[in-house]
């Protein structure tokens, strides 16, 4: 059957080689749409050296949104009270004005001005001002594309993992783009409840996707470690994706183990490093394919649940590709006996994936393409 080739435009604040869920989302969609033969234009903050090579390799067009000029307040330097003050200012600016992310609204609006002739447009959030700029640029006179899909890895107004709620007036912006877009794509069914009821009919469940063929494991052969060795990769959220109780329990067992943590949320791990005496090791983020290779060497992998039904960690796809069992943990109230079993090599209570084929990038892209029929 002959495939109808489309003109596709994608707008995102994150792209290869950045390590983030939204970067992976954007990059994998672009690569697969291009592989299928579609004409793909992506608007991102362009890095000339790396992205010119990317354009040539995949046959796409990259347009520059420009670098972010609004800078986040640095809270690393200064006295204890200075840091607290700067932290309060930074949080206040974010809550009141979505600073510095609000800049993407203006950049996207400017970039999309007078653009037209596309079959499918996908704007990718977070940050959600990417959607705000898209709806600002899309008018009755110029819709830019026949179909606009607003892709949301995490909800905005309905998000519950952050300690602070969004201020009420942002709901008007959220409802505005909800009304104007053709579809809202979310990564799993439970996320629907985080959106306004009057727009849920527009929601399509399209999970994160990855090219399974790009994954090269550690010779595809796992060898048990002499000491129980396990890992976690990603950020932490106090009270939601929180490792404290798990680490306290591990240290109370007085056994040998190696817990490797790939994170930049250092403040939630560092207080336990001296007590762990080398049993906990912090590592910086590494490229996704390399991370999957490293995780494939672990006895098992740890996943801290978000503690809410509307948000699901996207890293579970990466964990699936490692072919290692996953220990699912709630930040509070986890089953200690399950942890004990994992430490002894009994993985009978490991996380069970529901239809992993849905995460193949070819299946993910097909769902987007079908929205234009």
Rounded to 10°, the helix 21-35/48-58 angle is 30
Look up the CATH number of the domain holding residue 227. 3.40.50.2000
- Give the model's pLDDT for residue 161: 66
Residues 79 and 184 occupy one common structural domain: yes
Nearest partner of 313 among 323, 299, 324, 302, judged by Cα? 302
**Counting every residue, how long is the chain?**
373
How large is the average pLDDT for residues 330-359?
A: 88
How large is the average pLDDT for residues 43-49?
A: 89
Rounded to 10°, the helix 129-137/103-112 angle is 30
Residues 174 and 220 occupy one common structural domain: no
Residues 314 and 216 occupy one common structural domain: yes
Model confidence over 1-41: pLDDT tens digits?
Answer: 456 789 999 999 999 998 888 999 999 999 999 999 999 99
According to DSSP, the residues that pair with 121 across neighbouring strands are 9, 148
Domain that holds residue 118: 7-206
Model confidence over 254-274: pLDDT tens digits?
Answer: 899 999 999 988 888 888 888
Q: How many CB atoms lie within 10 A of CB 56?
A: 9
In a domain? residue 179: yes
Residues 222 and 201 occupy one common structural domain: no
Residues 226 and 177 occupy one common structural domain: no
In a domain? residue 363: no
In a domain? residue 142: yes
pLDDT over threshold 90, residue 369: yes
Helix (H, G, I), strand (E, B) or coil at 138: coil
Residues 163 and 64 occupy one common structural domain: yes
Mean pLDDT value across the chain: 88
Residues 129 and 254 occupy one common structural domain: no
In a domain? residue 80: yes
Nearest partner of 101 among 197, 166, 198, judged by Cα? 166
Indicate the residue among 206, 230, 245 that finishes a domain: 206
Characterize 117-132 residue by residue with b for buried, 16 or more Cβ atoms within 10 angstroms of its Cβ, and e for exposed.
ebbbbbbbbbbbbbbb
Specify the higher pLDDT residue, 314 or 211.
211
Model confidence over 63-113: pLDDT tens digits?
Answer: 999 988 888 877 777 777 787 888 888 888 888 898 999 999 999 999 999
In a domain? residue 368: no
The total domain count for the chain is 2
Instruction: Supply φ then ψ for residue 4, to 5 degrees.
Output: -75, 120
In a domain? residue 277: yes
């Amino acid at each position: 059957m002959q495939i109808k080739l489309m003109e596709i435009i994608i707008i995102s604040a994150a792209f290869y080689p950045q390590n983030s869920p939204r970067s992976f989302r954007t990059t994998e969609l672009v690569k697969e749409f291009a592989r299928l033969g579609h004409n793909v234009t992506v608007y991102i903050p362009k890095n000339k050296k790396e992205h010119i090579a990317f354009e040539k390799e995949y046959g796409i067009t990259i347009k520059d949104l420009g670098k972010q000029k609004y800078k986040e307040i640095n809270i690393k330097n200064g006295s204890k009270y200075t840091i607290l003050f700067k932290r309060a200012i930074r949080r206040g600016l974010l809550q009141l004005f979505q600073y510095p992310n609000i800049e993407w609204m203006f950049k996207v609006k400017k970039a999309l001005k007078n653009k037209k002739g596309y079959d499918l447009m996908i704007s990718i959030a977070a940050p959600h001002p990417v959607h705000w700029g898209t709806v600002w640029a899309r008018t009755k006179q110029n819709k830019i594309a026949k179909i606009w899909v607003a892709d949301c890895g995490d909800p905005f107004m309905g998000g519950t993992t952050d300690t602070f709620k969004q201020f009420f007036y942002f709901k008007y912006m959220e409802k505005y783009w909800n009304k104007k877009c053709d579809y809202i794509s979310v990564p799993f069914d439970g996320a629907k409840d985080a959106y306004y009821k009057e727009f849920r009919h527009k929601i399509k469940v399209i999970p994160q996707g990855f090219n399974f063929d790009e994954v090269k494991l550690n010779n595809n052969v796992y060898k048990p470690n002499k000491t129980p060795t396990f890992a976690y990769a990603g950020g932490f959220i106090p009270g939601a994706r929180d490792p404290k109780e798990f680490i306290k329990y591990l240290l109370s067992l007085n056994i040998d183990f190696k817990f490797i943590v790939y994170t930049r949320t250092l403040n939630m791990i560092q207080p336990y490093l001296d007590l762990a005496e080398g049993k906990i090791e912090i590592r910086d983020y590494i490229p996704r394919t390399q991370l999957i290779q490293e995780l494939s060497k672990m006895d098992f992998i740890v996943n801290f649940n978000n503690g809410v039904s509307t948000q699901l960690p996207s890293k579970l796809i990466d964990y699936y590709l490692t072919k290692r069992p996953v220990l699912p943990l709630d930040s509070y109230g986890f089953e200690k006996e399950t942890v004990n079993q994992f430490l002894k090599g009994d993985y009978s209570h490991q996380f069970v994936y529901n239809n992993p084929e849905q995460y193949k990038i070819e299946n993910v892209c097909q769902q987007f393409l079908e929205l234009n029929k």
